[in-house]
Structure 1
Amino acid sequence: MPVYVIAQLKIGDRARYQRYVDAFMPVLAAHGGRLLAADDAPAREEGDWPYDKVILLSFPDEAAFRAWAGSSDYRRIAQDRLAATTGPVIMAHGFG
């Protein structure tokens, strides 16, 4: 069953966040992940939204997501994202 990861980020250090972005895609692809959307100006339809960016990822299943999130390659680059941003990252199960 596919899983989707949604990140809503407030970016405090753009240079450090860019370093994370520059290293991100090969690490994501190595674990079967796909970048479905990344928007610096999403259209807010309802409610408050105090973030700068939204990101939507997909993985074939939860095991692939957990392998990516726990991998040494991702943990290494994630240090830059964690230092440069705040905001929630959530995982949701898809259908089928």
Structure 2
Amino acid sequence: MPAYVIVDAEVLDMERAGAYRTLAEPSVRRYGGRYLIEGAVPEAAEGAWPASRIVAVVEFPDMARLKEWYTSPEYTKAKAVRESAIDMRLLFVEGQPA
């Protein structure tokens, strides 16, 4: 069953955010993930969404693989770079069977 990372983020430092992406994107692919939405500013249908915040959705084959990616040495390096560059919330969600 697929699993998803839902990202809510605000970029604080564009240069360091670029360094984070350089590390994070290959780590996602290495663990079988793929970006469904990457760094988009959503259009609020109801309520308000801060213009400074972006969203991303990453799909993994299953929750085990997602968690393997999240704790991997590759992504651990990316997280260290991200700390001062991006204010980020991550949600892990299981999808529905096909």
State TM-score, norm by structure 2.
0.88
Give how far 1:88 is off.
1.6
Q: Which runs of 5+ in 2 are unaligned?
A: none
Residue identity opposite 2:42 in structure 1: P
Structure-2 separation of matches of 1:24 and 1:7: 13
Q: Which runs of 5+ in 1 are unaligned?
A: none
Deviates more, 1:41-50 or 1:83-92: 41-50
Distance 1:70 1:5, change over 3 A: same
Pair 1:14-2:14 in alignment:
yes
Give how far 1:48 is off.
2.7
Q: How many residues align?
A: 96
Residue identity opposite 1:16 in structure 2: R
CA RMSD of aligned residues (A): 1.4
Structure-1 separation of matches of 2:40 and 2:81: 18
Report sequence identity in percent: 30
Tell me the residue number matched to 2:34: 34
Deviations 1:57-81 (A, max 9, x none): 0011110001000001100011122
1:42 match: secondary structure: coil
State TM-score, norm by structure 1.
0.90
Give how far 1:82 is off.
2.3
Deviates more, 1:17-26 or 1:29-38: 17-26
Tell me the residue number matched to 2:85: 84
| Segments of 4+ moved more than 4 angstroms | none
